[in-house]
C-alpha cells in the first residue's frame, strides 16, 4: 500500500484528467467530431499528443531496464527520428491531410482498391489490440502493488476509466488529456533522475563503468539488434511505419487546423523523441551504478524496485501518476484510432455507406467502448520476462513490411496495382518469418519486409492486375499533394548529424558533463 502523500498526488492527477474531460464535454460546440475534432488544434498540443502517444509506460519501465542490461548502445535504435520525421512531414502528412481523410487507409482504396485497404485496416486493428494489451498489462502490474486489486481487476478498471473520458469528448479530449499526461510523465521521470543523482555522491561511481557509456557499435551483424547499422538503416523503416503510416499517430495530425500546423506538430516528435529516450537511457545507467550491476530476474523490475524501496512518498506518487499517464495516453489514442478505423474502413465502407455524419459519430463512440473491452483480453496474456519495450518493438516489426510497403508502393510507383500489392503482402510476411528463423535480429524485419514488399509488388503488377481510370487519375493527382521541405525541416537533418557526433563521443562527454552539472 502507498502513503497518504502518494495517494493525494495520484488522486490529484486522476481528478485533473476527469475535469479536462468534463470541461470539454460541457462545450459540445468546441468539441468537434469524434475522429478529427473539426481540425481545430495548433501544432503544440497536436505534437505533444503525438509524442505522448508514442512514449508509453513501456518506455518508462522498459528503456531503463534494457539499458541496465545492454548499456547505452540501445540509444542507437533511436538516432533515426529526425530522418524519419523529415520524410513524414514532406510526403505523408500533406497527402493524408489534403485528401481530408479520417482514416489513412482510405488512401489505399483510392490508390489500389478496397481489398488492400481492408487488409491493412484489419492488420492495424489486430496489431493495435495486441500492443495496447501489453501497455494495459504494464500499468496493471504497478497498480496491484499499491492497491487492493487483482491483476484482472486492475486491467479492467484502467481500461474502462480511460475509455470513459475518451468516449465523452473524442479526439479533443484525447489531445488535451495527452498534454496533461505528457507533463506528468516528464515530472515523474525528472523526479527519478534527481533522486538517483542525489544517491550517487561521487563521479567516480559513474567512471567505474565506462563500457555502459559506449553508444556506437559498428559491428556488422544481422544477429545483433543494437548496432549503428540496425539503428540508422533498419529501424528507420520501423519508425517510418510508426510515424508515417500508423493511424494511431497520424490521426493527431489530421486534427490540426492546417497542413503547416500538422507538419510543425511532428517536429516535436522529431526532436523530442530522441531526448526522451536518451533521458530514460541515462536513468538506466544511473540505476546500474546505484545497484552496482546487481542482477535482476526481470529487467522490468529494476526501476520499480528503486522507486518503491529507495525514494520518498512524493516521488512514488509522481512516478505512479507518470506511469498511469503514459499508459492512458497510449490507450485513449488506441481506442480513438481503432474505433475510427472500425467505423470508416469497415462499418461505413461495407454496412451503412450513406448515413448522416452524426450517425457515424455515434457509431465511433460506441465502438471505442468495444475496443476498450477487446484490449483487455491480450493484456491478460502479456506476461513476459523480456523487456516490455523490446517485446512490442519485435511484434510491430513482424508486420511492418505490409504496413509501410503498401503506402510506399502507392506513392513511389505509377504502375503498381492491387493484385501486385496483395501478392507482395504475402511475400513480405513470409520473408519475415524466414529471416526470423535464420536468426536475424528483429530491427531488420522492417527493412527486409518492406524491401520484399516493394520488389514483389512492383514486379507482380507488371504481369497481373490493372489500374482503373479513376486510379490512374488519382496517381497523376497525388504528386501535387507533396510539400517542398521548409528551412525548419532541413534543421532536422542538421540535428540528426549532431546527435550522431554527440553519441560517438558519449564515453568522454557524458561522464564529464555529469561531473560539471551534478557533482
Grid-cell match 481489398, residue found: 115
pLDDT at position 517, please? 64
| Cα separation of the two ends of the chain | 34
User: C-alpha angle 103/106/109, rounded to 5°?
Assistant: 160
Its pTM stands at 0.91
Q: Which of 195-209, 249-263, 383-397, 407-421 is predicted least confidently?
A: 383-397
Q: Express the helix, strand and coil content of the chain in percent, nearest 5 each.
A: 80, 0, 20
Q: Which of 221-225, 401-405, 417-421 is predicted least confidently?
A: 221-225
Q: Which of 248-262, 271-285, 292-306, 378-392 is predicted least confidently?
A: 378-392
C-alpha to C-alpha distance for 505 and 305, rounded to whole angstroms? 31
Structural domain total, the chain: 1
Over residues 77-87, mean pLDDT: 95
Burial of 69 (0-12, 13-18, 19+ CB in 10 A): middle
Which residue from 396, 377, 381, 320 is spatially nearest to 159, judged by alpha carbons? 377
Using the 8-state DSSP alphabet, how is residue 486 labeled? P
HSE-up of residue 419 (Cα within 13 Å, Cβ side):
11
Taking the CB of residue 129, how many other CB atoms lie within 10 A of it? 18
For residue 385, pLDDT over 50 is answered with no
C-alpha to C-alpha distance for 399 and 429, rounded to whole angstroms? 7
DSSP 331-362: HHHHHHHHHHHIIIIIIHHHT--S--HHHHHH
Over residues 355-365, mean pLDDT: 87
C-alpha to C-alpha distance for 408 and 302, rounded to whole angstroms? 40
| Digit-coded pLDDT (tens) for 98-116 | 999 999 999 999 999 999 9
Q: What's the chain's average pLDDT?
A: 88
Greater confidence (50 vs 384) lies with 50
C-alpha to C-alpha distance for 279 and 187, rounded to whole angstroms? 12
CB 464 within 8 A of CB 419: yes
pLDDT at position 514, please? 67
| Digit-coded pLDDT (tens) for 483-513 | 888 889 999 999 999 999 999 988 887 777 7
C-alpha to C-alpha distance for 368 and 398, rounded to whole angstroms? 26
C-alpha to C-alpha distance for 267 and 50, rounded to whole angstroms? 10
Greater confidence (93 vs 379) lies with 93
HSE-up of residue 240 (Cα within 13 Å, Cβ side):
28
Q: Which domain holds residue 439?
A: 4-518
Q: Going by C-beta distance under 8 Å and a sequence separation of 6 or more, which residues neighbour residue 397? A: 238, 432, 442, 443, 445, 446, 449
C-alpha to C-alpha distance for 223 and 211, rounded to whole angstroms? 21
Using the 8-state DSSP alphabet, how is residue 76 labeled? G
CATH code of the domain covering residue 38: 1.20.1730.10
C-alpha to C-alpha distance for 173 and 169, rounded to whole angstroms? 5
> Residue 226 — φ and ψ, nearest 5°?
-125, 75
Amino acid at each position: 500500500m502507498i502513503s497518504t502523500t502518494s495517494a493525494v498526488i495520484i488522486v490529484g492527477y486522476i481528478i485533473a484528467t476527469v475535469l479536462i474531460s468534463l470541461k470539454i464535454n460541457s462545450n459540445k460546440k468546441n468539441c468537434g467530431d469524434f475522429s478529427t475534432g473539426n481540425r481545430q488544434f495548433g501544432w503544440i498540443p497536436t505534437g505533444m499528443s503525438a509524442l505522448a502517444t508514442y512514449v508509453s509506460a513501456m518506455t518508462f519501465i522498459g528503456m531503463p531496464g534494457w539499458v541496465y542490461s545492454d548499456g547505452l548502445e540501445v540509444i542507437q535504435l533511436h538516432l533515426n527520428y529526425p530522418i524519419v520525421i523529415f520524410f513524414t512531414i514532406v510526403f505523408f502528412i500533406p497527402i493524408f491531410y489534403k485528401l481530408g481523410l479520417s482514416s489513412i487507409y482510405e488512401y489505399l482504396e483510392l490508390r489500389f482498391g478496397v481489398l488492400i485497404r481492408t487488409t491493412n485496416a484489419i492488420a492495424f486493428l489486430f496489431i493495435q489490440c495486441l500492443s495496447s494489451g501489453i501497455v494495459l498489462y504494464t500499468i496493471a502490474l504497478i497498480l496491484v502493488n499499491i492497491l487492493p486489486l487483482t491483476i484482472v481487476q486492475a486491467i479492467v478498471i484502467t481500461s474502462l476509466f480511460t475509455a470513459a473520458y475518451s468516449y465523452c469528448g473524442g479526439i479533443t479530449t484525447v489531445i488535451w488529456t495527452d498534454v496533461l499526461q505528457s507533463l506528468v510523465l516528464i515530472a515523474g521521470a525528472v523526479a527519478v533522475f534527481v533522486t538517483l543523482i542525489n544517491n550517487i555522491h561521487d563521479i567516480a561511481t559513474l567512471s567505474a563503468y565506462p563500457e555502459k557509456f559506449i553508444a556506437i557499435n559498428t559491428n556488422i551483424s544481422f544477429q545483433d539488434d543494437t548496432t549503428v547499422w540496425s539503428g540508422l538503416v533498419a529501424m528507420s523503416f520501423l519508425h517510418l511505419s510508426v510515424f508515417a503510416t500508423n493511424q494511431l499517430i497520424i490521426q493527431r495530425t489530421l486534427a490540426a487546423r492546417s497542413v503547416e500546423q500538422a507538419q510543425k506538430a511532428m517536429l516535436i516528435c522529431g526532436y523530442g523523441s530522441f531526448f526522451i529516450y536518451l533521458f530514460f537511457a541515462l536513468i538506466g545507467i544511473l540505476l546500474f551504478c546505484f545497484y552496482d550491476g546487481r542482477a535482476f530476474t526481470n529487467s522490468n523490475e529494476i526501476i520499480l524496485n528503486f522507486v518503491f524501496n529507495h525514494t520518498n512518498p512524493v516521488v512514488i506518487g509522481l512516478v505512479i501518476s507518470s506511469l498511469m499517464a503514459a499508459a492512458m495516453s497510449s490507450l485513449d489514442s488506441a481506442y480513438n484510432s481503432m474505433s475510427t478505423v472500425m467505423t470508416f474502413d469497415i462499418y461505413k465502407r461495407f454496412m451503412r455507406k450513406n448515413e448522416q455524419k452524426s450517425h457515424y459519430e455515434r457509431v465511433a463512440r460506441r465502438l471505442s467502448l468495444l475496443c476498450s473491452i477487446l484490449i483487455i483480453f491480450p493484456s491478460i496474456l502479456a506476461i513476459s520476462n523480456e523487456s516490455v519495450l523490446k517485446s512490442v518493438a519485435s511484434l510491430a516489426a513482424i508486420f511492418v513490411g505490409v504496413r509501410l510497403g503498401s503506402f510506399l508502393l502507392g506513392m513511389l510507383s505509377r504502375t503498381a496495382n492491387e493484385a501486385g500489392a496483395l501478392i507482395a503482402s504475402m511475400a513480405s510476411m513470409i520473408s519475415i518469418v524466414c529471416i526470423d528463423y535464420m536468426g536475424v535480429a528483429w530491427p531488420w524485419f522492417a527493412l527486409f519486409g518492406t524491401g520484399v514488399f516493394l520488389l514483389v509488388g512492383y514486379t507482380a503488377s507488371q504481369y497481373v492486375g490493372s489500374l482503373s481510370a479513376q486510379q490512374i487519375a488519382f496517381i497523376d493527382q497525388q504528386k501535387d499533394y507533396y510539400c517542398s521541405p521548409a528551412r525548419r525541416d532541413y534543421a532536422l537533418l542538421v540535428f540528426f548529424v549532431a546527435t550522431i557526433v554527440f553519441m560517438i563521443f558519449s564515453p568522454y562527454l557524458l561522464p564529464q558533463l555529469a561531473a560539471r552539472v551534478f557533482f
